[in-house]
Structure 1
Amino acid sequence: MGPSPRPGRWPRRWWRATRPSCGRTATRSATGPLPEFLDGQGGHPVVAYAGSHDRVHVDDRTLASLTVPTAVLDQARARVGSHKNTMFVVQSSDTVVPADRLRAAVRDGLAETVDHLTGSSTSFAVPAWRKWSRMLVDQRAAKGWPTVFADRRGLLRALAGVWESVETAGMDGGHLRGLFADGLAQAAAVLEEPALAGEAQRWREIGQRWHLLAETALPEDVPAIVRLRELTATVTGAVAAGDPAAAQWAAAADRCGDCGPSTRMRRRWTRSGWPRSAPR
């Protein structure tokens, strides 16, 4: 129901200039079963680094070996039609990037990020946040939250989507503002531009504001929401643990589907003003 809260994208020029020497393949996919309502929605790249028999070894922030059946990976890659089974193959090996080339890549990457975020797109640039914030409170727009969730159906799923996109417990690793801030701090040293270090601190402050928004969207004072948060974190943690925890994350993912808001909960939210008071 809103844009992904990411600070930017990997610039094509950065990719061409650095060419990481890992000898691996990055593919857009999902390593676990997803509900049907997510068909066609975007995913993120994962690294496929080996194959054995009918399984593929993938790395998605994992701490141990994680394998996926080849058929499942093929299905996941085809899940989003616009991605067209995207695959990036990194072919360079033992490459040392010269300092001047690295500086140029960092500067070009920052410039492209600025160009991207300052664009006019209401889906992929800063104006997307203005549009999204307006839809949260617009009672007349057909796509406004007060209209779409007038009967509260699907509201918990939408709020959970906000929380998962922002917090590290979600599938995509969170809002990444802190990671972007670390990159700015490193860029300040590489480019000898001290002002970038100050911008890094601003990004960390912005990241904290996103955390507060996530906590507002999915507060811990509702028991069913606490359970949903716990199950989501269990799935993410178990995926990171690799194959030994496969049964754990599969079971937790199944139980997540049973955490929808009951009629009683929807009535409670309406009476208490939460979250009706937020979008209005």
Structure 2
Amino acid sequence: MTQHQQFEARVRERMARTGGSYTAARRHLVGDEPPSDLVHPGLLPGYAPARTVSQHDAALWSRVLGQAGALNPVTVAPFGEAMLAGLGGGIGFMVFTFEYRDVTTATVVTRFHPGPYRENLLARSGAEVRTLTTTSRGRARTALDTALEAGRPVVVRGDRALFAGEEPDEYGESADVVVAGRHPDGAFLVDTGTGLHEVEEERLAEARAARAADKHWQAHVEDPGSLDAPTLAAHVRTAVRETAEALLSTGGPAGVPAHFGKNFGVRGMRTWAERLRDTRTRKGWPALFDDDERRARALAQLQRFLGGDEWSGPGALRPLYARFLREAAAAPGLAALGELAGRYDALGRDWDALADVVDPDCGHEQRVAVFARMAGLLDGLADAEEAAATALLRSA
């Protein structure tokens, strides 16, 4: 089992033992995770491994930019996870289901997507980041060593399970991790966001080559830059408008076929609610997930999406966005953003309530009622999300 699968098993074991909800069990176990900021021989000076993570990419780059000396000009401190997440586009919504021969998938994304989230947060941080994509293992290794010798941690992309010293995840997507130094015994120190792992050179190369589209990709901070407060405020305004417009759009994201537009933003939330309560057509979830095994697998997948840190996060990332709004309110001319933070704290609680209704163990006879309850919660969420995004647009 991969580390994430092992963690999921622990969540479900705690749910069974305590009778508590999925989100409560997950948060308890995250809080129980041992701190990962211990002293590790070979760790680059100034690099602090993650303790807690809400959104993987924002937290990862917070650590990398912080080590390089990039500063938020308003706080004169390293960029935190919340600020970088907000600059990346923050929150969003997407829902898709796909039927295959043996499985029907259920994908829900609650971060800004499919826009350039990582690219946005880096460009708006003011730092100069050098990236490299190569098919040459030797060139990739040389570039990695050069950056580490210059004292810079390197972000690499590949199979997360292999990076963690586990068996490869055949169906997993690429993940970014940080090569944060070298252990005296020769292994690389890799920060996956769930702790530091000593990874031998051969296994690191294997992980980096595992996904053809991302083969040997890497990035490091060349220059931390010197952003000023008015420029940061301008970037925040752009990001907030981008977030609000994506949530309120009726046409779908740029580059996505128009007929898929109904799966994104507030409109996507309403589409999902309609399909959850649709008992008449094949597109309705009661029919789509009529089979017990397909339903159990899809709803477990849905829980992982809502509870994970890659495509979503606690409270569908709305509490993290609330933190961003409070921090951004200190920038010149943006005080009004802080007044909207409470809306997103409340939305986070509502999204957690929805996640707690998702039940992979619900039987065939219970599925219609479970889906109807989810739809009712989504109706309220869509209304509140629309009102909050409209207020965001006015404030930016």
Give TM-score, length-normalised by structure 1. Answer: 0.64
Say which of 191, 216, 219 aligns to 2:357.
Answer: 216
Aligned CA distance change for structure 1 residues 49 and 279 (closer, same or farther; 3 Å)? same
Q: Distance in 1 between matches of 2:118 and 2:241?
A: 9
Instruction: Note the 1:15-54 alignment, pairs <5 A.
Output: 15-20=122-127, 23-32=152-161, 33=167, 36=170, 39=171, 42-50=173-181
- Residue equivalent to 1:199: 340
CA distance in 2 between partners of 1:118 and 1:72 (Å): 44
Equivalent in 249, 265, 270 of residue 364 of structure 2: 270
Q: Does the aligned pair in 1 maintain the 2:326–2:337 contact within 8 Å?
A: yes
SS in structure 2 at match of 1:146: helix
Q: Is the 8 A contact 2:303 2:355 kept in 1?
A: yes
SS at 2:108's partner residue?
coil
* Residues 167-226 of structure 1 deviation map (CA, whole Å, 9 limit, x = unaligned): 3689964422111110011111114333212221111111111111111114xxxxxx7x
Decide which of 138, 155, 161 is 2:301's aligned counterpart.
Answer: 161
Unaligned runs of 5+ in 1: 219-224, 226-260
Confirm or deny: 8 A CA contact 1:20 1:90 kept in the other structure: no
Secondary structure of the 1:117 match is helix
CA displacement 1:215-252 (0-9 Å, x = unmatched): 1114xxxxxx7xxxxxxxxxxxxxxxxxxxxxxxxxxx
Map of 1:65 onto structure 2: 196
Task: Find the aligned partners of 2:268 and 2:237 in 1 and give their Cα distance.
Answer: 25
Paired position in structure 2 for 1:190 = 331
User: SS in structure 2 opposite 1:96?
Assistant: coil
Please list every run of 5 or more consecutive structure 2 residues that lacks an aligned counterpart in the other structure: 1-105, 129-150, 162-166, 253-260, 373-396
Paired letter, 2:297: R
* Conservation of the 8 A alpha-carbon contact between 1:55 and 1:69: yes
Query: Secondary structure at the residue paired with 2:176?
Result: strand
Per-residue deviation, 1:7: 4.9
- SS of residue matched to 1:97: coil
Task: Choose between structure 1 and 2: higher strand proportion.
Answer: 2
> 1:232-251, aligned counterparts within 5 Å?
none
1:29 positional shift: 3.7
1:176 to 317, 328, 341: 317
CA shift for structure 1 position 158: 1.8
Counterpart amino acid of 2:306? V
Counterpart amino acid of residue 271 in structure 2: K
Task: Give the conservation status (yes or no) of the 8 Å contact 2:318–2:348.
Answer: yes
Q: Give the structure 2 partner of residue 244 of structure 1.
A: none
- Taking structure 1 as reference, are residues 143 and 90 closer, same or farther at Cα in structure 2, changes over 3 Å only? farther
8 Å CA contact 1:14, 1:105 repeated in 2: no
* Equivalent position amino acid for 2:109 in 1: S
> Counterparts of 1:78-117 in structure 2 under 5 Å?
83-85=213-215, 87=217, 89-117=219-247
AA aligned to 1:57 is L
How many positions carry a matched residue from both structures?
226
Between the aligned partners of 1:161 and 1:49, the Cα distance in structure 2 is 31
8 Å Cα contact 2:154/2:178 also seen in 1: yes
Q: After alignment, is 191-200 or 43-52 more displaced?
A: 43-52
Provide the alpha-carbon RMSD of the alignment.
3.6
Question: Contact between 1:11 and 1:112, CA under 8 Å: does it hold in 2?
Answer: no
1:137 corresponds, among 269, 277, 294, to 277
* Change over 3 Å in CA distance of 1:3–1:18 after alignment to 2: same
Q: For the structure 1 residues 180 and 279, does the alpha-carbon distance in structure 2 shift closer, same or farther, using more than 3 Å as the test?
A: same
What is the Cα deviation at residue 16 of structure 1?
1.9
